[in-house]
Amino acid sequence: MDICEVCGRFGIGFGETGICRECRAERPPYVLARAVAPYEGPVRDALHIFKFAGKRELAHPLGELMAGLVADLYPYRTFAAVIPVPLHPARARERRFDQAELLAGVIARYLRIPLAGRALRRIRETPSQTTLTRGNRLSNLSGAFAAGEDARRLEGKGVLLVDDVYTTGATVRECCHTLQQAGIGFVYVVTLATGIVRDTA
């Protein structure tokens, strides 16, 4: 399987450019995104146990895998902060913890980068992404995030954005736009899992 050199999604048939059709059509607002593994098999199972069965101790092994990937891929890149994609507070309460924040905390400690847990806030609850079409997902997320107090200290700097899964990338793109509007210089993305592109031509 190939890995898109821009969004990091797995797939077949990216051709000589090594870039998936979607990224060729429109360059994402981040520099690069990478995931540890495709969203399937044992990684998918581990993530489900972590998120839905409340096994928060899994944040350590999963976060360390992500930190190791970042250290391998971007050894000379310095980040001013690690920023988690925020879960809406209502959903975090339901689940009793915020998985992206836990993973970001592990990555920040492992890589010795400050955690900026309040750089992004989710200001609007959004319907579950999985039930929507791609077009609806994008408009669904518009205005869902706001830059928080931590973002002001990061003006002109580079940050590492962390989420558990990258599916269409709509959430990550919306977070990047919000951070860039707040003056953040550049964004790299790391997730535990990422989607598999099946529509390459």
Nearer to Zn ion, 28 or 68 (CB): 28
Q: Where are the alpha helices (DSSP H) in 4-133?
A: 21-25, 41-52, 59-73, 89-95, 99-111
Q: Tell me if 23 contacts Zn ion by CB under 5 A.
A: yes
Listed ranges 18-26, 96-104, 110-118, 166-174: which one lies at the site for Zn ion (CB under 5 A): 18-26
DSSP state at residue 88: P
Amino acid (1-letter code) at residue 57? E
Helical axes 99-111 vs 59-73, angle rounded to 10°: 50
End-to-end CA distance of the chain: 15
**For residues 196 and 174, what is the distance between their CA atoms, to the nearest angstrom?**
20
Of residues 3, 11, 20, 74, which one binds Zn ion by CB under 5 A?
Answer: 20
- Closer CB to Zn ion, 34 or 122, in the complex: 34
35 interacts with Zn ion by CB under 5 A? no
Choose the binding region for Zn ion from 7-15, 86-94, 123-131, 183-191 (rule: CB under 5 A): 7-15
6 binds Zn ion (CB under 5 A): yes
- Verify binding: residue 4, Zn ion, rule CB under 5 A: yes
Provide the minimum distance between the beta carbon of 192 and Zn ion in the complex, in angstroms, as a whole number: 18
Q: Residue 25 carries which DSSP code?
A: H
DSSP state of 107: H
User: Quick check: 193 binds Zn ion (CB under 5 A)?
Assistant: no
Closer of 95 and 177 to Zn ion (Cβ): 177
Q: Specify the stretch interacting with Zn ion by CB under 5 A; choose among 5-13, 49-57, 95-103, 138-146.
A: 5-13
Shortest distance, position 22 Cβ to Zn ion, whole Å: 6
- Any contact of residue 7 with Zn ion (CB under 5 A)? yes
- In the complex with Zn ion, the residue whose CB is nearer, 6 or 65, is 6
For 2, 33, 95, the CA distances from 195, given in Å and listed in that order, are 12, 12, 23
Classify residue 118 as exposed, middle or buried by CB count within 10 Å of its CB (0-12, 13-18, 19+).
middle
Give the footprint of Zn ion on residues 113-172 (CB under 5 A): none
Residue placing its CB nearer to Zn ion in the complex, 109 or 200: 200
> Strand 10-11 vs strand 196-197: parallel, antiparallel, or unpaired?
parallel
DSSP 183: T
Q: Which residues bind Zn ion (CB under 5 A)?
A: 4, 6-7, 20, 23
